[in-house]
A and B are shown apart, each in its own frame.
Chain A
């Protein structure tokens, strides 16, 4: 994960990710404080207001985020050369993440069964380099099993789309 040697072009430095995440924490803390002030963080007639507890949570969050951010900047020179992820290892991460994002968007649109068929099938063809037959068996088989288990056996409804309604579900 961390190499003392210099980074190659396109590798992501840990210090930037560290800083970004720390600032994200600080930002979330600030939002929490702002909202607590909005709903009131003081004492009302009948007890503490809604923002009483989150107000302090927000401040601790800001403090912790700022601490990590400042520490990162303080050690900025020293952290040079520490790699968060190399370019060639980042690629498979995105090859997983991007289809997954596409998949959840498809779930909202086509329902989970069709989306799973496309997602698993696409993944196997494209990244696994499987033939059509094994791909079809797994990518169609799993949604059918899931349908039997969830819709029919356990009676748990899952998101469905136009294809299912065409079939009468």
Chain B
């Protein structure tokens, strides 16, 4: 029960007035980011990261993770009221949330969405509380080959579980690795791929890529789709909240499934978006009201929201324990940790228990605060969305530019942001996934170092990745996931054959 003691100590860290204030600010900023198109969890945190450099790491991570929770909550508001998902993971929420709003049940839908988000996050935090120390202790035995194997697993699971074409996932990922290699090679001290061009010396920062790909890219897409925000009013009152809460427990089975899907998809880097779709699809198949999904079923709001939050939260588990983020936003938070001089990974639990447990405690508090804040402030956010896009769009671009500049105080980064923005637009439309690109860009150096160290240990032989049962089984699992698109094709072909060829 040593961990429980740590957790209580963590609450003591998180419950100072200063940290509570940062928590509130974080959640308000997060909801704002969540409702505005073009600003999302990942690039919102990326833009605000430089502002936290002067804070203590604990306060900073509390604020930044609260921005993340806020963004997760905020995405639901626009989905339900405006039928416009503020975030990719709230697309599935529009399916039943918007019909509910059209029927005048917006308050009910939003209460259900926020509450399920809260439930999903709560279960994921509980899982983190109990599982993270175990994983961290286990991972202390990891050497370079094991770390590389886990990273291989991370990237292979993108290929195996992604919704995008596998080849495009691989291409996007490799582009990330290639961009990560640009600049000074820390091992040999040689310059790679700079071609004598000075601004490239420090390489491509993934924060710039995140701001461009997710921020500007999203704005360009929004312009193309020509959205006009005409939504339903966002009035909500305690009576409806209470009535909705009374109906929610009957969906416990849906919630439980959603939590499980979410936690699984968050830990393996599937991410919140596929988790919400999977959960919605599963709920539709399993529910007795399945046929009515899409017409305004409250279950159709509960399922994706619970899963998205469970996934978004549990993405922090591998980030903290292994230094491998489960989502782009977790990757940005990881980048923040590195900037504050904290090396995420198993040692973090030993060396900085204050920080780790303060963060975990803040996840509990942040989600409770988040639920209360969004329930009370919904009408304001709905009002913000009525500001026309001709004002919002340039303001968001200016904020993105500031975010890009402040990373290194370098104007070249602002130009790069525009390039990444155009790429983000093209990639999104051609179904190249952005998350593996960003993760490869973040983890590129780490993966390369782990690979090189492994090769040094084995004198250049790949057999080191089968040298003990642990690393062998991780690599085997990774290869299965990598080949999964092929395997599943073969399986479905085999299944189809007996029927076609008549029983033998």
What residues make up the interface of A, taking CB atoms closer than 8 Å to B?
1, 14, 17-18, 21-22, 25, 28-29, 31-32, 35-36, 39, 43, 47-54, 57-58, 60-61, 64-65, 67-68, 71, 84-85, 89-90, 92-93, 95-97, 99-101, 103-104, 107-108, 112, 116, 119-120, 123-124, 127-128, 130, 138, 142, 146, 150, 154-159
A54 touches B181 (CB 8 A): yes
Given A85-B429, A104-B401, A159-B411, A96-B395 contact (CB < 8 Å): no
A123 touches B394 (CB 8 A): yes
From the candidates A31, A68, A93, A156, name the one contacting B168 in the complex (CB within 8 A): A68
From the candidates B175, B223, B402, name the one contacting A25 in the complex (CB within 8 A): B175
B149 within 8 A of A: no
B174 touches A89 (CB 8 A): no
Given A57-B181, A89-B224, A89-B226, A158-B455 contact (CB < 8 Å): no
In this complex, what residue of A is CB-closest to B414? A104
User: Which residues from chain B contact A14 at a C-beta distance below 8 Å?
Assistant: 430
Within residues 364 to 411 of chain B, which ones have a CB less than 8 A from any CB in chain A? 388, 390-391, 393-395, 397-398, 401-402, 405-406, 409, 411
B465 within 8 A of A: no
What residues make up the interface of B, taking CB atoms closer than 8 Å to A?
50-51, 54, 167-168, 170-171, 174-175, 177-178, 181, 185, 187-188, 190-193, 195, 216, 219-220, 223-226, 388, 390-391, 393-395, 397-398, 401-402, 405-406, 409, 411, 414-415, 417-418, 421-422, 425-427, 429-430, 432, 448, 451-452, 455-456, 460
Given A35-B193, A64-B170, A124-B390, A119-B426 contact (CB < 8 Å): no
From the candidates B216, B391, B426, B448, name the one contacting A21 in the complex (CB within 8 A): B426
A57 touches B177 (CB 8 A): yes
Majority-rule SS of A interface residues: helix
From the candidates B174, B226, B398, name the one contacting A142 in the complex (CB within 8 A): B398
A54 touches B178 (CB 8 A): yes
A112 touches B401 (CB 8 A): yes
**6 A–B contacts, CB within 8 A, in A order:** A31-B193, A35-B192, A48-B452, A57-B174, A71-B167, A130-B391
From the candidates A1, A57, A93, A142, name the one contacting B178 in the complex (CB within 8 A): A57
Given A92-B223, A96-B393, A50-B190 contact (CB < 8 Å): yes
Known: A65-B171, A100-B421. 18 other contacts (CB 8 A): A21-B427, A31-B193, A32-B181, A35-B192, A35-B195, A53-B451, A57-B174, A60-B174, A61-B178, A89-B224, A97-B220, A99-B394, A100-B418, A103-B401, A124-B391, A138-B391, A146-B402, A150-B402
User: Which residues from chain A contact B432 at a C-beta distance below 8 Å?
Assistant: 21
A93 touches B425 (CB 8 A): yes
A93 touches B390 (CB 8 A): no
User: Which residues from chain B contact A36 at a C-beta distance below 8 Å?
Assistant: 192
Per the bound structure, the CA–CA distance linking A95 and B394 in Å amounts to: 11
A68 touches B171 (CB 8 A): yes
**In the assembled complex, how far is the CB of residue B39 from the closest CB belonging to chain A, in whole angstroms?**
15
B167 touches A128 (CB 8 A): no
B50 touches A156 (CB 8 A): yes
B402 touches A51 (CB 8 A): no
A156 touches B51 (CB 8 A): yes
User: Which residues from chain B contact A124 at a C-beta distance below 8 Å?
Assistant: 390-391, 394
Per the bound structure, the CA–CA distance linking A64 and B452 in Å amounts to: 24
User: Which residues from chain A contact B220 at a C-beta distance below 8 Å?
Assistant: 93, 96-97
**In the assembled complex, how far is the CB of residue A113 from the closest CB belonging to chain B, in whole angstroms?**
10
Given A64-B174, A96-B219, A142-B398, A107-B411 contact (CB < 8 Å): yes
User: Which residues from chain A contact B398 at a C-beta distance below 8 Å?
Assistant: 103, 112, 116, 119-120, 142, 146
Per the bound structure, the CA–CA distance linking A154 and B422 in Å amounts to: 31
A1 touches B188 (CB 8 A): no
A158 touches B402 (CB 8 A): yes
B394 touches A64 (CB 8 A): no
A25 touches B171 (CB 8 A): yes
A48 touches B174 (CB 8 A): no
**In the assembled complex, how far is the CB of residue A147 from the closest CB belonging to chain B, in whole angstroms?**
11
A128 touches B397 (CB 8 A): no
**In the assembled complex, how far is the CB of residue B434 from the closest CB belonging to chain A, in whole angstroms?**
14
**In the assembled complex, how far is the CB of residue A15 from the closest CB belonging to chain B, in whole angstroms?**
11
A28 touches B178 (CB 8 A): yes
Per the bound structure, the CA–CA distance linking A65 and B193 in Å amounts to: 19
**In the assembled complex, how far is the CB of residue A24 from the closest CB belonging to chain B, in whole angstroms?**
9
A120 touches B394 (CB 8 A): yes
Per the bound structure, the CA–CA distance linking A99 and B192 in Å amounts to: 34
User: Which residues from chain B contact A53 at a C-beta distance below 8 Å?
Assistant: 181, 448, 451-452
From the candidates B54, B178, B223, B430, name the one contacting A58 in the complex (CB within 8 A): B178
User: Which residues from chain B contact A116 at a C-beta distance below 8 Å?
Assistant: 398
In this complex, what residue of B is CB-closest to A138? B391
A51 touches B192 (CB 8 A): yes
**In the assembled complex, how far is the CB of residue A54 from the closest CB belonging to chain B, in whole angstroms?**
4
User: Which residues from chain A contact B426 at a C-beta distance below 8 Å?
Assistant: 17, 21
User: Which residues from chain A contact B427 at a C-beta distance below 8 Å?
Assistant: 21
User: Which residues from chain A contact B411 at a C-beta distance below 8 Å?
Assistant: 107-108, 159
Given A124-B390, A154-B51, A64-B193 contact (CB < 8 Å): no
In this complex, what residue of B is CB-closest to A155? B54
Given A112-B401, A124-B391, A43-B460 contact (CB < 8 Å): yes
6 A-B pairs with least C-beta separation: A128-B390, A64-B171, A61-B174, A123-B394, A50-B190, A92-B223
Given A31-B193, A50-B185, A85-B406 contact (CB < 8 Å): no
**In the assembled complex, how far is the CB of residue B345 from the closest CB belonging to chain A, in whole angstroms?**
20
**In the assembled complex, how far is the CB of residue B486 from the closest CB belonging to chain A, in whole angstroms?**
14
**In the assembled complex, how far is the CB of residue A132 from the closest CB belonging to chain B, in whole angstroms?**
15
Per the bound structure, the CA–CA distance linking A97 and B417 in Å amounts to: 12
Per the bound structure, the CA–CA distance linking A48 and B402 in Å amounts to: 39
User: Which residues from chain A contact B185 at a C-beta distance below 8 Å?
Assistant: 39, 50
Given A50-B185, A159-B405, A85-B418 contact (CB < 8 Å): no
